Amino acid sequence: MYDPNYISQLKKLQNYAASPELPSLLQWKPTQAGHVLVWKTTKQLFVGVAVVQVYSYKLNCGPNGNFINPDVGKFVKSKFQFFSGRPSDSNFSDDFPKISLTLKNYNKKSR
């Protein structure tokens, strides 16, 4: 299917969402559109990597997220939402519960 080295390289990335040290490296930062996760050291926006299966259930997401028009709000406040689940690829399926727990824990910290 793909190069086996790709899997090990992906899982070694600092921003891989199932990485056990990731929670200690991030923090919430308030913005105009709510809160965003940033790296503690650089304060740069965090972009995570996760391998999940995305379901088509309520997938109303185009290139502009849920941005409808300027009358509703600014583009910077648009959100991308989707439902995901455990990937069928066994190389990543064991990481899904770790990713879910990490996201739940970060969601609790944002309140």
Q: Quick: pLDDT tens for 2-47.
A: 687 888 899 999 999 999 888 889 999 988 777 888 999 999 999 9
Stretch 51-58: mean pLDDT, rounded?
79
Q: What is the pLDDT of residue 76?
A: 61
Q: What is the pLDDT of residue 110?
A: 61
Q: What is the pLDDT of residue 21?
A: 87
**pTM across the whole model:** 0.71
| Among the ranges given (12-21, 53-62, 63-72, 74-83), the one the predictor scored with the smallest mean pLDDT | 63-72
**Is 55:83 a contact under the CB 8 Å cutoff?**
yes
Question: 3-state DSSP call for residue 54?
Answer: strand
Q: What is the pLDDT of residue 84?
A: 83
Q: CA distances (Å), 86 to each of 8, 37, 51, 65, in order?
A: 19, 23, 8, 23
Stretch 58-77: mean pLDDT, rounded?
59
